[in-house]
Structure 1
Amino acid sequence: MKTNHIMKSLKLENEKIGTSQYTLSLMAQGIHEGLLQPQRVRDYQQDVLEILKKLLVKYTFGESSSVKVEVAENIMCSIYYVMDLYFTEIEEPGKHVAQLKDMGVQKVYEEGLAYVHKMVETCKAHYESVKENRLALDMIAYQDTITDGLGQFFKLYNVLFGAHDTMCNIDYPLAIDDMGIEGILYIKQYVEHLDIENTVCGYFSLDHVERLLENYGDMYKIAYKEALINVFELIVNQYIFCLMLDNTNRELQITKMQYAVIEKELSLLQDHQVNRLVDDLFDRFVLELEISESRVIQYINRYKEKFIHQLLQNRKINLAYFIIVEQEKSKKQVVLMDNKEKMDDETFKKLVESIIDCATWEDKIKLIKENMTSLVDFVDVLKADCLFDDEYTKLYETIEDMELAILGKIIYHDALRLEQVDIMNLEHLQLEEPWQWYLDDYIKQLDRERLCIVTDFMNEYDMQM
């Protein structure tokens, strides 16, 4: 009997709380394991319907017959979600069936409501603390999520009619984020993880963090303030590699020469050696920053597993994915855009349709050349699948050296971030679209003199579209 109880507990434990499905799975599993009779489960389901009827009366102010099916289904999900969260208070899953049998659906739901209300108040207090102590970074997604997104949730959240809903705009990505849970349970997780990430980021000076972000923006040719990037991830990755260089001053800068040292050292290691090295570096990370909070240490260790997995995948192909290299400001800045605005969506759509309808490649190229007023539109046409096979090559044959260099800057972007590039020796290119494949082939077959000109443009000029 003891063995059977353990087996039943393990099976029930595999179900996920926080998705409006746990209680339903509990009932189904209870029947399967012989812990619940089918008739009793039918009685439970009828009890849930009684709760639904009462909530529909509240929802419609007495006019329950006028409710749409989608509304009723949503409130039903809310009921089950509340019951799910009640069971989170009971640590041993094997006791959940016994609790349901002893208390009945109505009591479980009432206790669940009280539990959810308490969770909301606790989470709201935690959110207010996070908002007050947030990082002073000029990043739109980060600031908007904290001020508006999370704040909106606590204004709109309705425990009775949408306990499972997550009604807010959360744009800022976390390093560790379980998107499979819903409602207050998700917000609770988000606020807790954001708080931990802010704590870790707070060990570094704002000036050093901003410099890191500026270098990130320069490397990727983006406005970092508008980008959806996770600051914790950038900082942890950077400081881990700083520790690998025995730099413990928390300045977060890595030069091209230091990058080369890291790249060479990692290339000499086997996977199991990389694992051991990363374990040591993360231990040093905690020691150097003198982190003592167990919740923070646990989060860092969880992130370590993600870090190792990605490092093993990328270290021989694209180590620059992890490391932000100090950017030189000596390149000539060239902004390559016409004064004319980018096409509106409708005009662009009609142009693409016209290109596709052309009978010959000559007509397609003529139409493109006559209508292109900005480089952004030109690249969008290349991405629009309106050219086929050697039509890309025919188009590339009509453009000037500088235009060719601009397109080359796009497809050779990762390599150009770190060094003067010899295009003919580039390997492991991650080119995913036909226009990129044909462009790479076309550039590499240029005569030596023209290839040198195009390469020099790419290496010497910082082109901004």
Structure 2
Amino acid sequence: MGKDNKIQKYSYSIENNFSEEGFFKDVLANCYEKKLLDDNILGRIYYERMELLKVNLKYYTKDESSSVMVEVAESILQCIDYTIGIYLKTFDNLESIIEEIKNTNLFDMLKMGHDLIKEKILYSKKLLHEINENKLEVDNYSYSDTIDYGIPLFFKEYNDLFSAHETPASIDYQLYIDNMDYIGIEYIFNYLETLSLENEFCNNFHISEINKVLRGYDKKCELLLINIFELVLINSLGVIICGKDLNSLNINSLDREQIKNKLGNLSLEELQQELLKYAKICSEILDIKNEAVVTYIKKSTLKITSLINESIKLNRLETVFISFDEDDSNEMFEYTDGEKMTNSEFKKLSEEIRECSLVKDKIVLIKNNIKSLEDLVDMLDAECLFEDEYINCFKSLSKMEIILLSKYISELSFENEYEKQWYYEFNEYILSLREEEQIAIREAKERIEL
């Protein structure tokens, strides 16, 4: 190999030059273009890739067929490349990667990549368990549904042997800083790590304060695709700018005037440095020991800077620094029900629910298909659940759904109607809640008009 092609260690930034999704193929393309691998090595790699494809297709068809659809073969080859890429990403630089490609066959690299995928799956499941343990008690459908159903769906459907590059999850909740370049287990792994950091920060605040921030942002916050961490971080910075105590996250109009006076005349660079200073103070006040959380706060503050700068220019700080809605305690809300299922759809669903032997499978069917209070009540009336299954079902419902059911039952007249089993079970569930939760439900249902 000539002098011009000599590889300098760290001369190629793996992170910046190669995609996360097609890492292995990008490495090969780069080596081919720059003649970093000779034709013999490239020929061997091509041969081994095809041999791996043959072996995996044999496993895929269980040796019962000699032909598969082109799309299937392409997908399995993509899975092979993805798995090898995961292994090669463990090396620090291109020089090390090339040496590994020269000296190790693809069969061994595939096995090591697959072992890494298994490790990531186990760690991701552990992360999800921890996130569930520390989940924020907020009424936001995208947040709750992603944690309770969307990500568990990934672990149920993920096939690390033939489609490791796919991401069979239903993720609606948006992270504040999300790397969409990843796919497969790498995406889930990074998503859960980031969500864990966001939750860890938010858990430094009383949940009632967080819910007030969300409600101040929008009264229908439960329906919005919002990032909770972003709203909490911005208001916490605002509180610190105003020299107030972080026990309350409320930012009133006078606070916004103070923020404008302090930040209004700064250049973008000066504003960034000032906000980073307040972010550091925030981390110190909250006594955050996890350096990963501190780093994430810094990165997020950099992203926030342009948002705050724009709001200052437009004199719209109220859209960024949120005030609690102090006047909504007695406001009435008229509830508009979701789309009702057709009779045939409901009949089919209720039969599927009854056929499930596990309550968790019943709950998944209910959560994924029932979008209206009327259908939810009909399902409960249809005796699809039994005994303790009712309690498990009620636990899976959002706060709004619990409030709506409570309102529905309170407006029933039982004079000429047989009281259903689920009425009793629901009452038992309500009584099992903390007293403050029961009070909140009673107060909320009085403000809803069905």
Separation of aligned partners in 2, 1:331 and 1:129: 34
In 2 relative to 1, CA 253–157 (structure 1 residues): closer, same or farther, beyond 3 Å? same
- Name the residue aligned to 1:5: 7
For structure 1, the 5+ residue unaligned runs are 343-465
Instruction: Write the distance in 2 (CA, Å) between the matches of 1:164 and 1:15.
Output: 20
The equivalent residue for 1:58 is 59
- Distance in 2 of aligned mates of 1:340 and 1:94: 61
Matched, 1:283 2:285: no
CA distance in 2, matches of 1:172, 1:340: 23
Shift of 1:73: 1.1
Task: State the alpha-carbon separation in 2 of the partners of residues 309 and 196 from structure 1.
Answer: 22
Do the aligned partners of residues 91 and 57 (structure 1) sit closer, same or farther apart at CA in structure 2, a change above 3 Å counting?
same
Mark the CA change 1:115 to 1:138 in structure 2 (over 3 Å): closer, same or farther.
same
What secondary structure is seen at the aligned counterpart in 2 of 1:178? Answer: coil
Residue equivalent to 1:26: 27
Which residue identity lines up with residue 322 of structure 1 in the other structure? Answer: V
Offset, 1:304: 1.5
Look up the match of 1:426.
none
Task: Work out whether residues 14 and 93 of structure 2, in 8 Å CA contact, stay in contact via their aligned partners in 1.
Answer: no
Of stretches 164-173 and 91-100 in structure 1, the one that deviates more from structure 2 is 91-100
Q: Give the 3-state SS of the residue equivalent to 1:284 in structure 2.
A: helix
Matches within 5 A, 1:196-215: 196-215=197-216
1:326 aligns with 2:327: no
Shift of 1:287: 0.9
Q: Please, which of 221, 244, 248 is the counterpart of residue 247 of structure 1?
A: 244
Q: List aligned pairs for 1:56-205, cutoff 5 A.
A: 56-205=57-206
Supply the distance in 2 between the matched residues of 1:340 and 1:90 (Cα, whole angstroms): 54
Q: Which runs of 5+ in 2 are unaligned?
A: 340-450
Q: 1:335, 1:25 → 2: CA distance?
A: 55
CA distance in structure 1 between the partners assigned to 2:164 and 2:277 by the alignment? 43
CA contact (8 A) 2:9 2:93 kept: no
Conservation of the 8 A alpha-carbon contact between 2:151 and 2:171? yes
Equivalent-residue separation in structure 1 for 2:297 and 2:204 (angstroms): 14
**Cα drift, residue 96 of structure 1:** 0.2
* 1:297 equivalent in alignment to 2:294: yes
Given the two structures, how large is their TM-score scaled by the length of structure 2? 0.69
Note closer, same or farther for the CA distance 1:78–1:273 as it changes in structure 2 (3 Å cut): same
State yes or no: 1:225 paired with 2:222. yes
Distance 2:329 2:189 in 1: 46
Larger mean CA deviation between 197-206 and 138-147 belongs to 138-147
User: Residue in 1 aligned with 2:368?
Assistant: none
Tell me what 1:42 maps to: 43
Q: What is aligned with 2:270?
A: 273
Q: Tell me the distance in 2 between the aligned counterparts of 1:188 and 1:340.
A: 36
Q: Structure 1, residues 258-293: CA drift from partner, whole Å, max 9, x if none?
A: 223323433232333312311211111111111111
- In 2, the alpha carbon distance for the partners of 1:180 and 1:12 equals 14
Q: Distance in 1 between matches of 2:117 and 2:222?
A: 36
Equivalent position of 1:448 in the other structure: none
CA contact (8 A) 1:164 1:183 kept: yes
Q: Which residue of 1 aligns with 2:365?
A: none
Equivalent in the alignment of 2:17: 15
Corresponding position of 1:450: none
Give the match's secondary structure for 1:161: coil
Q: How does 1:327-366 map to 2 (within 5 A)?
A: 327-329=325-327
Using the aligned pairs only, state the percent identity.
26
The aligned amino acid for 1:71 is V
Kindly provide the amino acid, as one letter, of the partner of residue 55 in structure 2.
K
Structure 1 segment 442-453 matched on structure 2, within 5 A: none
Does the C-alpha gap of structure 1 residues 267 and 80 become closer, same or farther in structure 2, counting only changes over 3 Å? same
Choose 1 or 2 for highest CA Rg.
1
**Backbone CA RMSD of aligned residues:** 2.7
Alignment correspondent of 1:355: none
Aligned residues: 337
Residue 213 of structure 1, CA deviation: 1.4
The one-letter amino acid paired with 2:17 is: E
Q: Would you say the 8 A contact 1:135–1:198 is kept in 2?
A: yes
Displacement, 1:313?
3.1
Q: Tell me the TM-score normalized by structure 1.
A: 0.67
Q: Which amino acid counterpart does residue 297 of structure 1 have in structure 2? A: V
Going from structure 1 to structure 2, the CA distance change for 1:16 and 1:332 (only over 3 Å counts) comes to same
Q: After the TM superposition, which of the residue ranges 113-122 and 327-336 deviates more from structure 2?
A: 327-336
Distance 1:148 1:87 in 2: 32
Q: Among 280, 290, 310, which residue is 2:307 paired with?
A: 310
Residues 259 and 13 (structure 1), Cα distance of their counterparts in 2 relative to 1, 3 Å cut: closer
SS at match of 1:239: helix
Q: 1:320 to 1:67 in 2, by over 3 A?
A: farther
Give the distance between the partners of 1:82 and 1:48, measured in 2 at CA.
12
CA–CA distance in structure 1, aligned partners of residues 71 and 337 of structure 2: 47
* Distance change (3 Å), C-alpha of 1:235 and 1:3: farther
* 8 Å Cα contact 1:141/1:228 also seen in 2: yes
Shift of 1:87: 1.1
Q: Is the 8 A contact 2:268 2:306 kept in 1?
A: no
